[in-house]
Amino acid sequence: MTRPENHTVHILNGPNLNLLGKREPGIYGARTLADIETDSIALGRDLGLEVALFQSNHEGGIVDQIQAARDAAAGLIINPAAYTHTSVAILDALNMFDGPVIEVHISQVHKRESFRHHSYVSLRADAVIAGCGTQGYMLALRHMAELLKTA
Ligand code: DQA
């Protein structure tokens, strides 16, 4: 299957990120997933990208979203949350996606518990952003715009 010749970017979010804003705000900040969606659609418009945001608390749900992106998105930004550190299934799904993949973590995972230091997704990701707070999604979008220009 060939990658869609479009400027659509999907932002995928894993478990517990639906509770951003309420969830451990000292680590993850005050902004909600709805805020991130609004900001990323607006920034995407400036960058010439159409942005769609998804979230699932289930590993299979994220795999389904990655598979769907094969036909629908030119690039993927993904914060797999806790599945980052455990999921071969998500890595396998990403390996079937042809476009650029950027991995985002809100927190600086390397400053945290050692089980957060390993990422299966980093074996596929073209870039990794960690520790920039929710602003990391905006940095990822700016970098994605550059990657898609040269793709
Ligand atoms: C996270 C970091 C993960 O270790 C954690 O399980 C999350 C969020 C982050 O965005 O910093 O749920 O991916």
73 near 99, Cβ under 8 Å? yes
Express each pLDDT in 44-86 by its tens digit. 999 999 999 999 999 999 999 999 999 999 999 999 999 999 9
What angle do helix axes 88-95 and 59-72 make, rounded to 10 degrees?
10
60 near 83, Cβ under 8 Å? no
67 near 57, Cβ under 8 Å? no
Express each pLDDT in 81-128 by its tens digit. 999 999 999 999 999 999 999 999 999 999 999 999 999 999 999 999
Ligand 1 site-directed mutation target among 116, 117, 132, 137, most atoms within 8 Å of CB? 116
Q: Which residues line ligand 1 (CB under 6 A)?
A: 16, 79, 81-82, 84, 105-107, 109, 116
Q: What's the one-letter identity of residue 112?
A: R
The first and second tokens of residue 71, run together, are 């036909």
Would the pLDDT of 2 be above 60? no
Rounded to whole angstroms, the Cα distance separating 8 from 118 reads: 29
How far does residue 67's CA lie from ligand 1's centre (Å)?
Answer: 22
